[in-house]
Amino acid sequence: MARTRIARIAALPTRVGSIELRNPVLTASGTAGHGAELASYVDLAGLGAVVTKSVSADPWPGNPAPRVHEATAGMLNAVGLQGPGVAAWIADDLPALLATGATVVASIWGRSVDDYRRAAEAMAAAPAQVVAVEVNLSCPNVEDRSGMFAHSAEATEAAMAVTEACGRPRWAKLSPNVGDLIPIVDAAVAGGAEAVTLVNTVIGMAIDPATRTYRLGNGGGGLSGPAIHPVAVRAVHDVAAARPHVPIVGAGGVTDAETAAELLVAGASAVQVGTATFADPRAPGQVAVGLVDWCRRHRIDDVGELIGAIHGHDRQR
């Protein structure tokens, strides 16, 4: 792709809990590398924040290849949270991102409650430009027969509670693959989450019928992209209706200003752009610029006018 002039992103302030963001559009964890990779395509300092790839307390190799597969209106991935570990990330990967002027939200994960504790303790050493920590709870819990943390209210609260040592506001990234999100949200808040990120990927699978083999090396994976956007809208809507005091970051199939605005009206205070970045690395910047223009054309002076509007209230006031 030919590199073009980077579009500058005008301010459109929003707030997620105690964190003031310059713009409601963020990157989604795991879709922009460690963040600085997008600097040639996106005004990273103009985004609300760059949410970085999830890292654990220790280095982790991830899953066997192939790790991604194109699906109808989206993609399946089973990357497996490959990463260098928190300490190496802070030392080797974070400086290049901070040099862009970006606001950073770090993402951590673990395979046990103690893994989350150690990752959070290590993240405490990150500089102040890391304004929040997103706790990725869509991870297998080896202490519970590898059931996902985010599928259990008890496990969600336990993992969140031990991450306090990071010394920053925490956002709980939750899975849509549950019958009722509200008890999980309540557990995350009880564990110390200041906000929730809705949603992570939808469980999926692809099989090659000719070879009778899985198309992903790990068997199944997570579906993301436009295919899950209605799922994300419903999750944000229902949580905002039931728990209007809980700040929400919306994620899932955001590709343009319209889909971003839809999540805001459903109740999100900010949105993340993820899978669209694989097709076009300029996507987060394009959505952010487009949302500013969308608000101007619809005579929206304050993004708070949009947030939760479907419920007849302004969630930021």
* CATH value at residue 134: 3.20.20.70
The predicted model gives 6-12 an average pLDDT of 95
Asked if residue 71 belongs to a domain, the reply is no
**Active site residue: 25, 57, 137, 139, which one?**
139
pLDDT in tens, 18-48: 999 999 999 999 999 899 999 999 999 999 9
Asked if residue 93 belongs to a domain, the reply is yes
Q: Give the pLDDT band (50/70/90) at residue 316.
A: low
Asked if residue 151 belongs to a domain, the reply is yes
**Is residue 1 pLDDT above 60, yes or no?**
no
For 33, the domain range is 14-62+82-206+221-311
**Residues 6 or more apart whose Cβ sits within 8 Å of residue 89:** 34, 52, 55, 83
pTM of the model: 0.96
Provide the residue type at 111 as one letter.
Answer: R
Asked if residue 172 belongs to a domain, the reply is yes
Asked if residue 72 belongs to a domain, the reply is no
> Has 166 been annotated as catalytic?
no
Percent of the chain with pLDDT over 70: 97
Q: Give the pLDDT band (50/70/90) at residue 80.
A: confident
Asked if residue 282 belongs to a domain, the reply is yes
Q: State the average pLDDT for the chain.
A: 95
Range 57-62 contact pairs with CB under 8 angstroms and sequence separation of 24 or more: 57/85, 57/86, 57/110, 57/115, 57/118, 57/119, 57/122, 58/85, 58/115, 58/118, 59/83, 59/84, 59/85, 59/88, 60/85
Asked if residue 140 belongs to a domain, the reply is yes
* Cα dist from 50 to 61, 94, 297, whole Å: 23, 11, 26
Asked if residue 73 belongs to a domain, the reply is no
Give the H or E element holding residue 105: strand 104-108
Number of domains in the chain: 1
